[in-house]
Every structure is written in C-alpha cells, then in structure tokens.
C-alpha cells in the first residue's frame, strides 16, 4: 500500500510522521510530498532517507491514502485530483469541512458514516475535535441543549512562524518577525483567524458549525470565544454545557473515564487537572474541573485540554486512515 503525506515538511506534517511511527501504521511505500520549494529535500524517517516529491508526481503514483496538511488552497486544488485516481484523501485544512457532500470525522464519534465513495474526508478543527470527543458520551446519555466554550490556544496552532515570533520576543530580540498583529509573549490575543461580519472570528464560527455537523444535530446551540495564549503544549477549553436532562456528577465522571480517547484528571484537592504542558505529545483528550453550574439547572462546567498537533490534527487523521484499513475500505 502506498501512503502519501502531503505537507510533510510542516509542523503538522512532521507530527503525522511521528504518529504513524508510534502507531506502527502499515504501508509498503511512503511518499513525502510538499510544495515546489521543498521538492528534492531529504527527510530522514525511521532510519531511511526520503526525497520530497511534488504534488503532480504524488498523484501519478496513485497512493491508496493521502493525508493532507498543506493548507486550504492546496487542498481545494489537489484533493480532487488525488480522489480522481482513487486515493482516499484525509484533509486537515478547513477547505472541505462544511461541504455537505463531505464527511467531517472524529473516529470515536462518527467514523461509521464513511463509505467507499467518500474519497475526500475532512479532519475537523483542532479545538472542535477535543471538545466534541469529551462531550460525546455525555451527549449520548443526557442530550445537549447549549454549549458555551472559551478556548486558550497554543501558538503551535498558527504554525512554526508563530512559535518563532514568541521565542524571539521571549529572548528579547529587537524586531522579531511578526505573525500576529500584536506581541504574543506575556500577552493574550482574543483573536484567532479572520474576523467575520457578525463580529465572531472564523475560528469561533468553525467551532459552532463543525460541532453541529459532527453531532448531526442543528438544534445544539453553540457560542464560542477563541483566544491565543503564549503556550506550546496544546489547547485548553473552558466548556459550560447545558443538558436536556439532569445529570449525576459521579455518573458523568464514570462516563468520561470509560470513553475512548479520554482521560479524566480531576482531583483538585491534590492540584490534579489537565494542563497543556502535561498533554504535550499525548494522543488523548484530558478532562477535569468537573463541577455543576450552580447558576442554572442541568448545566456542567468542565476543562478540556489536548495537544492540538496530536488529537487536534495528526492523531485524528491517522486514526481515520486506520479505520479505512481496518474496515477494508482500501
């Protein structure tokens, strides 16, 4: 089987390669694919040197699976070309997420919806993935009426240039290259992606719209504020969720402890709660600070943390690829 990683030289691309190795993903031939400026570059992976190839050559090779992490414009242009030659494309960009003809997949929730005809499969937004994964077992039990989420997102979500800006500022560099409109180190920016006419950012609207699509439920009300903070380990979220039915806190904890891909860290008396620094390089979603909202009925407060480059991107994509293999779709 041929496997292509498109955008192999980027932050998420590098993480995809790491996850493939850790998961012992089976393939016969690995194609590392990137933009023209990276073609010919050598990448050492699992003790072997691989030469980066261009997109046209990758399409011609007809891989069975291509995991894309190369940006929306690249995906819009090239994903259909791979699909035409029979490749399953798993795309990390926002290009196909809200296309009604494309599946938006978190494997633990809705991988069963994938059919042999779904040649382009969308990977959800990083902040959406970790939230819906933690909420899914509770949604199944109590039903969800409304979600209020505030995020605290790592600079790694923007990419290497953002990490470089933060570290340059931290080291006292006079004129660091600016990715953000303001300094990020020792600061907080209530601004992720582009502002929309309704006053929300594109990131906030992604969380709202993608949550409804993944849950296949347009009645779920979602409101979001997304914030960039100067951390690198992962994304954090304060989530306030109103259920359709009342809940028992002990049962909530049990449901989460038994949910695939979720780890409960909820012992505040011993200062145990999820943090980006401890989620770094982990595939799971971590949940803690579980407590009843005492201001209104049927409502829970929870704190959700995950490595945004892992379950928020690379791990979720690799899990989709694993599902395709396990269910003999390729």
Residue with tokens 């929730």: 109
Largest Cα–Cα separation, the chain: 60
Q: pLDDT tens-digit profile of 254-297?
A: 999 999 999 999 999 999 999 999 999 999 999 999 999 999 99
Q: pLDDT tens-digit profile of 83-107?
A: 999 999 999 999 999 999 999 999 9
Structure tokens at 288: 């803690």
Report the phi/psi class of residue 270: left, alpha or beta, with left for phi > 0 and alpha for psi in -120 to 50.
alpha
Q: Are 87 and 107 in contact (CB under 8 A)?
A: no
User: In 3D, which of 96, 58, 34, 147 has the Cα closest to residue 320?
Assistant: 96
Q: pLDDT tens-digit profile of 135-171?
A: 999 999 999 999 999 999 999 999 999 999 999 999 9
Look at residue 100 in the predicted model and tell me its pLDDT.
96
Question: Residue 233: is its pLDDT beyond 90?
Answer: no
Q: pLDDT tens-digit profile of 193-230?
A: 999 999 999 999 999 999 999 999 999 999 999 999 99
Catalytic residue positions, numbered: 126, 235
Strand partners, 221: 146
**For the chain, first and last CA: distance in Å?**
9
Look at residue 36 in the predicted model and tell me its pLDDT.
87
- In the chain, the percentage of residues whose pLDDT exceeds 70 is 100
Domains detected in the chain:
2-123+313-326 (3.40.50.720), 127-308 (3.30.360.10)
Q: pLDDT tens-digit profile of 297-329?
A: 999 999 999 999 999 999 999 999 999 999 999
Which residues lie below 8 Å from residue 48, measured CB to CB, with a gap of 6+?
A: none
Mean pLDDT, range 26-37, rounded to an integer = 94
Look at residue 35 in the predicted model and tell me its pLDDT.
87
């Amino acid at each position: 089987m041929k496997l292509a990683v498109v955008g192999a030289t980027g932050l998420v691309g590098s993480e995809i390669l790491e996850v493939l190795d850790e998961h012992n993903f089976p393939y016969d031939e690995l194609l590392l694919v990137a933009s023209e400026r990276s073609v010919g570059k050598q990448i050492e992976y699992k003790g072997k040197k691989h030469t980066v190839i261009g997109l046209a050559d990758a399409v011609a090779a007809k891989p069975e699976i291509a995991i894309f992490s190369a940006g929306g414009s690249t995906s819009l242009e090239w994903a259909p070309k791979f699909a035409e030659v029979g490749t399953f494309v798993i795309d990390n960009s926002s290009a196909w997420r809200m296309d009604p003809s494309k599946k938006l997949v978190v494997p633990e929730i809705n991988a069963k919806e994938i059919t042999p005809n779904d040649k382009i499969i969308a990977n959800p937004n990083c902040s959406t993935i970790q939230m819906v994964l933690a909420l899914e077992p509770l949604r199944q039990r109590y039903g969800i009426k409304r979600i209020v989420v505030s995020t605290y997102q790592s600079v790694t979500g923007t990419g290497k240039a953002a990490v470089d800006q933060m570290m340059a500022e931290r080291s006292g560099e006079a004129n660091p290259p600016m990715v953000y409109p303001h300094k990020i180190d020792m600061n907080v920016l209530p601004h992720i992606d582009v502002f929309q006419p309704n006053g929300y950012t594109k990131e906030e609207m992604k969380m709202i719209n993608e949550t409804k699509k993944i849950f296949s439920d347009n009645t779920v009300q979602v409101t979001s504020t997304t914030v960039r903070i100067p951390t690198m380990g992962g994304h954090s979220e304060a989530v306030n969720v109103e259920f359709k039915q009342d809940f028992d806190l002990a049962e909530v904890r049990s449901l989460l402890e038994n949910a695939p891909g979720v780890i409960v860290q909820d012992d505040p008396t011993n200062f145990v709660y999820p943090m980006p620094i401890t989620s770094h390089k982990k595939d799971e979603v971590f949940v803690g600070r579980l407590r009843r909202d005492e201001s209104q009925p049927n409502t829970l407060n929870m704190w959700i943390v995950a490595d945004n480059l892992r379950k928020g991107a690379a791990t979720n994509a690799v899990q989709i690829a694993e599902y395709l293999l396990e269910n003999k779709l390729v």
